[in-house]
Structure 1
Amino acid sequence: MSEVARLRRLIELECEALQHLRTGFAVTSSHEIINHRYDGIATAQQQLAAIVGEQEATRMAVEIYMRVME
């Protein structure tokens, strides 16, 4: 698996975790847990930006986020 694919998957997993926090049994999740997930997305996006550039990394992260959070 390429580094880009690995980072995209990491962003997807963090988004899926956020989706579960939003709709699952943990509807009353703490802000600390939610912030931790967003921090994970930001970290992966920054690493992705070092490979594909800031604009493309942002586009990828937003596309993944929107797809998962539908």
Structure 2
Amino acid sequence: MSEIALLRRQIEIECEAMRQAMKGFKITASHDIINNQYNSIGGLQEQLAAIVGEQEAAKIAVEVYIQAIG
């Protein structure tokens, strides 16, 4: 699996965790969890940008987010 595919998969996992947090926890607990997920996704997007450029990395991250969160 390519590094791009691995990073994309990690973003998918973070988005899924964020979706679960939005549905399953109290609002105060989920805020911290969701914030951490966003930070993790941002870091993964930066790693992806080093490979494919900022625009493509943002496009990939948004596509994965929309697919996971809706």
Q: What TM-score results when the alignment is normalised by the length of structure 1?
A: 0.90
Runs of 4+ in 1 over 3 A off after TM superposition: none
Identical counterparts, % of pairs: 54
Q: Is there any run of 5+ residues in structure 1 with no aligned partner, and where?
A: none
**Secondary structure in 1 aligned to 2:59?**
helix
* Count of residue pairs the alignment pairs up: 69
Kindly provide the CA deviation profile for residues 9-65 of structure 1, in whole angstroms up to 9, marking residues without a partner as x.
Answer: 0100000000001112x1422432211110110000000000000000000000000
Q: Quick one: distance in 2 between partners of 1:32 and 1:22?
A: 11
Q: What TM-score results when the alignment is normalised by the length of structure 2?
A: 0.90
Q: Is there any run of 5+ residues in structure 2 with no aligned partner, and where?
A: none
Task: Give the RMSD, CA atoms, in angstroms.
Answer: 1.1
Bigger helix fraction:
2
